[in-house]
């Protein structure tokens, strides 16, 4: 992985980083520390909803996580342009992969 590249991560990586599985926890925490992470507001929302429903951490810890993620990671707002660009990339990749 290039040091200067940014990588979009899914909410599952954030969830694994606080989860009970030591293998997934170690890998996800290492990944989060060693790459330039980009997350979306949707990823944050998914993370917070799962954590809140399953009571994986306390409300205070959840609040601190929100602050920490916003300070450490680049957080992108989801816009219609972003969704359309993502669909165009998927379409291009599908055409490339399917030949």
- CATH number of the domain encompassing residue 38: 3.40.50.1010
Phi, then psi, of 49 in degrees rounded to 5: -65, -45
Per-residue confidence (pLDDT) for residue 1, from 0 to 100: 52
Q: Is the pLDDT of residue 72 over 60?
A: yes
Separation in Å, CA 65 to CA 2, 42, 44, 48, 80: 26, 15, 10, 9, 27
Domains: count for the chain: 1
Residue 83 lies inside a defined structural domain of this protein: yes
Q: Which residues of 20-54 are buried (b: 16+ CB within 10 A; e: fewer)?
A: eeeeeeeebeebbeeeebebbeebbebbbeebeee
Tell me the residue range of the domain where 79 lies.
7-98
Please give the model's pTM, rounded to 2 decimal places: 0.75
Residue 1 lies inside a defined structural domain of this protein: no
Residue 93 lies inside a defined structural domain of this protein: yes
Residue 2 lies inside a defined structural domain of this protein: no
pLDDT digits (tens, 9 = 90+) for 43-71: 999 999 999 999 988 989 988 988 888 89
């Amino acid at each position: 992985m290039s040091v200067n590249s940014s990588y979009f991560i899914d909410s599952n990586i954030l969830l694994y980083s606080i989860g009970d599985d030591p293998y997934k926890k170690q890998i996800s925490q290492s990944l989060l520390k060693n790459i330039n992470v980009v997350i979306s507001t949707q990823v944050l929302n998914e993370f917070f909803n799962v954590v809140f429903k399953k009571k994986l951490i306390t409300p205070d810890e959840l609040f601190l996580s929100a602050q920490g993620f916003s300070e450490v990671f680049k957080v992108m707002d989801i816009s219609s342009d972003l969704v359309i660009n993502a669909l165009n990339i998927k379409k291009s990749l599908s055409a490339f992969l399917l030949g």
